[in-house]
Structure 1
Amino acid sequence: MVSEIIEGFSTIQKRNSSFLNGIDMSDTDQIKNTLFPNTLEIAAFFKEKEALITGLLSENSGIQFMDILYDQYYQHFLTALPQVFFIKFAPDIIEFYATYMTKGVAALVETWFQSGFKSSTEMISHAILNMLAPALSDLYSEKRSLYRCS
Structure 2
Amino acid sequence: MRALFEGSQGLIETAEEFVRLRNSPDPREYRRAVMEEAPFQVWKEVVDRYPEERLWVAQNKTVPLAVLETLIDDPDIRVRVMVAMKRKLSPGLLERLAHDAHESIRMRVARHRNTSRETLESLRCDAWSEVRATVEDRLGGQADVSPP
The alignment's TM-score, normalised by the length of structure 2, stands at 0.26
Greater helix share, structure number:
1
State the structure with bigger RCO (CA 8 A, min sep 6), 1 or 2. Answer: 1
The alignment's TM-score, normalised by the length of structure 1, stands at 0.26
In our comparison, the structure showing a higher alpha carbon Rg is: 2
